[in-house]
Structure 1
Amino acid sequence: MNAPATSSPLLIGTSRRESIELLQAQLSSYGFPVQVFGRKSALLAALHAQTAAAVLLDADGLEDGATEDVLPLLRRLFQGPVLCAGTELTVSRQIALMRLGVTGFMSWPVDVQVLIDRLEQLEEAGRHNPYRVLIVDDSETVTRWVSQILQQAGMQVRSLHNPLDIFIALERFRPEIILMDVYMPECGGDEMARLIRQHPQFDSVPIVFLSTETSRGRQWLARSMGGDDFLIKNQESEELLASVVITVERYRRLRHWMTRDGLTGLLDHTHLIQQLEMQISATATQSVPLSYAMIDIDHFKQVNDQHGHAVGDRVIKSLARLLRQMAPSADLIGRYGGEEFAVIFPGLSQIRAAQRVDEMRAAFAALKHLDGGGALQATFSAGVAVLGNNMSAAQLVEAADMALYQAKRAGRNQVGMAS
């Protein structure tokens, strides 16, 4: 299977080499490269020679040094995340370890699912996606000035001089923040904000008004009609940048929890279908294929009945994790419901999408899921359909679902293709 976004390894420092082997094998099966060191000299040499994604230290130390002795040397070579795993660490020792550079704590023995969650959080935090900013202002001078400031900070910026064209820009650019003038010839910024707020798919996008208006009453009136903040034009560039960054980061966090399934972190059913509809609209203008796959874990009820719902949840999370690693984008995968998932493949023909899904199927079948002292394996079946002329999102989903049903009837653990 594909590796995660980073190929840098997790370095583990512990004297318990034998008990770490299963953890190392499980992390590797999920695509996380792992290196284990029993001596601090070897760990420090590895940090000197390569870039690490993170370091996990045993609170009981290594063969040739206590954890407290290793940390100062480690921190001279590595500025990234350092986790510490221990049994019943006291609060005072945790504080002491934090002062030496530990950034997070885990229980020993390490739960592989918890560790993978932490590693994925670290990956996501380290992955910077440029902010998308839409400027709506009839003044070319203002848009040029604001665009230059934001672009120099690495943001993606689109400018719009006619606010009446804003919905086209919202559909195509998908901004994470709108900077909009209050006074424009075609309509007021507050009027446009009210109109935007009537469309559920754009209701959560923050709108920040840019104006020369200094009346606090007028500013509050504009904000009451759909705005989130009010900035005075020609202010210090640092203040403008800070406002945009703070607002977009808050928007990203809120949007994540508003659109994601709680167990898997994938798109929930509602937002999965919304994403599919948007991809269908984009496909109509680009004249490229669009394929859609439905995925269902085989005999999942038996997994829950025989191994318990906690193990069932691990199997679901494992599949979600694999799909994130192997799908085109995290924004194109969703939990359709229960043990059913879906993946959108923009630009791929049906047969190419089916090949990609079959690669996912083989990788998932090879995974081992912990069940107390042992492990179990699971499989999934899938159905793939391609968007046809004048086909709606509901019809595409139905076609993929029928192909999934055919794969189930044919014996499961395979990929069916809609005819």
Structure 2
Amino acid sequence: MDKNAEIALKLQALRADYAARLPAEIQQLRSLVEHLTKPNPALQLDALNQLRQRLHKLAGSAGSFGFPELGKQAKKLELQTQAWIDSNQLDLGLVRVFAVAVAALDGLAQNDSPKKTPVVSQLAPLKTNTLIYVLEDDQDIADEVCMTLRHFGHQVEHFSTIAAAEVEVLRRPPDFMICDIMFTEEGRETPEAVAIMQQQLPVPIPVIFVSTRTDFDAYHAAVRAGAVGYFVKPLDIIRLVDCFEYYLDRNRSAPHRVLIIDDDLELAEHYKLVLSSADIRAEVINNPREIFEKLQDFHPELILLDINMPGCNGAELAQVIRLNQDWLRIPITYLSSELDEEKRANAMGRAGDDFLSKPMGDRELVTAVSVRAARSRQLSDALDRDSLTGLLKHSRIKEQVDVELSRAIRSGENLSLVMLDLDHFKQVNDTYGHPAGDKVIKAIAHLLRQRLRKSDAVGRYGGEEFVAVLPRCGRDEALALMEDVRQRFGEITFTVDQRSFNVTLSVGIAAYREGVVRAEQLLHEADAALYRAKAEGRNRICI
């Protein structure tokens, strides 16, 4: 049995163990409720605190293990215990109703059916060096989160107390942390502890917080501790992993691209060097007449534009840029020493989006540009990328074919275009359901993102059809790369309702050669090669 299939079985065993322990846990709750009827204030308060803690854990974990209704009801009961604690008084009539509700939890535990979600396993997991610390005092949830993350090839360490994590974080900082907010037995909340740790680290650690809390204070504390995500229990583990992977993809992605347009060439070059030192790719032009060629070739995510330039001032150039529909989405920030409020207002009213004042310190420049370029990419991704896979949409991947073909024609460099399709995908949807089909789609998208280079572009061309644009990649190199992808994907096992299945790929590759001048030609040839691969029996590559 391969490693990840074994993990999948362990996950199922965890859910079974959880279900087996539920009757005893509910019986313990019923015993604590009986203490509420005793005429002993100290005993009542102790019982209330224990009830709140146990119900809190049950509310957070039940849904994750296939008992959503049980989790919802436990949350309601937890809120009632908290209200009694806050008011410092018990209503015996309500206690009797409460006791009936606790007794009814047993029925919910028996009637709820375990959640059936496809589990993806790989024979050869893709290795990463990502070190993740999971801070969670609920062992069941911790085990599932850790196993799922390891399943995707990450190095994971679990800490059941904040104190243990604090020592290790300062000794060996991880790349990422996933933390529960409340550690009941320690009487501590994680955001405050994490915020203190962050101050002692040279580089802050990105954190995803998980909790049953949905109040503003919990979210606010999470932000102060460096949160990049917040998930409410019961956990949707797949969504959590998606958030984590999205963050990694975003931070592994290509540098931001910034175009500086300024007639002061030395200053512009200074800005370029400063931005380059912060891993921001910057290009400079000081002649507005070069704008069309530079936009077409460089595709900036942000334009820094001086207002006062001879011949064509910044406000006029901004309007020239805005006349082309292809460049409407590129944000234009004026970077100028202009102090006249009327001129600044006029420039902002004529196609500009923002204004930064010269002189500007290096750190301020990097921060201002980083924030604006990141926001530009985020908005562009929302428009350009498929919501299920995070890959480029049909129209945008076709544009990338155009861009890279034009570059290959000018430079004479290699270019390969790959078109691939999932074999018999309709049968997957018909047999196992559309959620299973979505898992398959996301699996191939994830594999493509991991195996291809930063400079490659990958898009979802249709329902189960994908296109990859591989610049500076000859056909033999493309063949070797896609053969690796084909084999790896064929080894992935998907499981739904204890039924396992595999899905294969058919691939067509077209390599740029002299005489190909239109993207449609290259796409047509790749499509023809894909059609041949399917006609010859599928699960193969044709060139």
Band of TM-score, shorter chain: 0.7 to 0.9
In the alignment, what sits opposite 2:74? none
Change (3 A) 1:413 1:25: farther
- Which residue identity does 2:436 align to in structure 1? V
Q: TM-score, normalised by structure 1?
A: 0.82
2:180–2:210 Cα contact (<8 Å) kept: yes
2:139–2:160 Cα contact (<8 Å) kept: yes
Unaligned runs of 5+ in 1: none
Q: Following superposition of structure 1 onto structure 2, how do residues 65-80 of structure 1 map, counting pairs within 5 Å?
A: 66=185, 71=190, 76=197, 80=205
Equivalent position to 1:223, from 339, 345, 348: 348
1:134 aligns with 2:256: no
1:313 aligns with 2:438: yes
SS of the residue 1:271 aligns to: helix
1:407 aligns with 2:533: yes
Change (3 A) 1:389 1:18: same
2:182–2:189 Cα contact (<8 Å) kept: no
In the alignment, what sits opposite 1:251? 376
Question: Which has the larger share of helix?
Answer: 2
Give, in angstroms, the shift of residue 220 of structure 1: 3.8
Equivalent position to 1:396, from 493, 508, 522: 522
In the alignment, what sits opposite 1:279? 404
SS of the residue 2:461 aligns to: strand
- Which residue identity does 1:138 align to in structure 2? D
Distance (whole Å) between structure 1 residues aligned to residue 347 and residue 265 of structure 2:
23
Distance (whole Å) between structure 2 residues aligned to residue 277 and residue 188 of structure 1:
31
Give, in angstroms, the shift of residue 42 of structure 1: 7.5
Give identity over the alignment, percent.
31
Unaligned runs of 5+ in 2: 1-123
Change (3 A) 1:80 1:125: farther
SS of the residue 1:390 aligns to: coil
SS of the residue 2:174 aligns to: coil
Give, in angstroms, the shift of residue 343 of structure 1: 0.8
Give, in angstroms, the shift of residue 342 of structure 1: 1.0
Distance (whole Å) between structure 2 residues aligned to residue 45 and residue 366 of structure 1:
40
Equivalent position to 1:8, from 127, 130, 147: 130
1:342 aligns with 2:467: yes
In the alignment, what sits opposite 2:457? 332
In the alignment, what sits opposite 1:200? 325
Change (3 A) 1:289 1:155: closer
> 1:12-36: CA deviations, max 9, x gaps?
4567778877765654453333345
Change (3 A) 1:196 1:331: farther
Distance (whole Å) between structure 2 residues aligned to residue 355 and residue 250 of structure 1:
36
Q: Following superposition of structure 1 onto structure 2, how do residues 19-418 of structure 1 map, counting pairs within 5 Å?
A: 26-36=148-158, 47=169, 50-57=172-179, 66=185, 71=190, 76=197, 80-83=205-208, 85=210, 88=212, 91=215, 98=222, 103=227, 104-106=229-231, 110-124=235-249, 126-127=251-252, 130-140=255-265, 142-143=267-268, 146-147=271-272, 150=275, 155-211=280-336, 213-234=338-359, 243-329=368-454, 332-372=457-497, 375-391=500-516, 392-417=518-543
CA RMSD of aligned residues (A): 3.8
> 1:34-86: CA deviations, max 9, x gaps?
3456788876676466442323356897xxx9475695877748852444556
SS of the residue 1:337 aligns to: coil
2:134–2:146 Cα contact (<8 Å) kept: no
- Which residue identity does 1:55 align to in structure 2? M
Give, in angstroms, the shift of residue 340 of structure 1: 0.7
Greater Rg over alpha carbons, structure:
2
Distance (whole Å) between structure 2 residues aligned to residue 134 and residue 60 of structure 1:
46
SS of the residue 1:354 aligns to: helix
Give, in angstroms, the shift of residue 403 of structure 1: 1.2
Distance (whole Å) between structure 2 residues aligned to residue 257 and residue 124 of structure 1:
15
Q: In terms of mean alpha carbon deviation, does 401-410 or 364-373 score higher?
A: 364-373
Give, in angstroms, the shift of residue 123 of structure 1: 1.7
Distance (whole Å) between structure 2 residues aligned to residue 366 and residue 100 of structure 1:
43
Distance (whole Å) between structure 2 residues aligned to residue 403 and residue 148 of structure 1:
45
1:68–1:97 Cα contact (<8 Å) kept: no
Change (3 A) 1:91 1:402: same
Q: In terms of mean alpha carbon deviation, does 127-136 or 199-208 score higher?
A: 127-136
Change (3 A) 1:21 1:295: farther
Q: In terms of mean alpha carbon deviation, does 171-180 or 366-375 score higher?
A: 366-375
1:298–1:381 Cα contact (<8 Å) kept: yes
Distance (whole Å) between structure 2 residues aligned to residue 19 and residue 243 of structure 1:
40
Change (3 A) 1:107 1:231: closer
Q: In terms of mean alpha carbon deviation, does 213-222 or 311-320 score higher?
A: 213-222
- Matched positions, count: 412
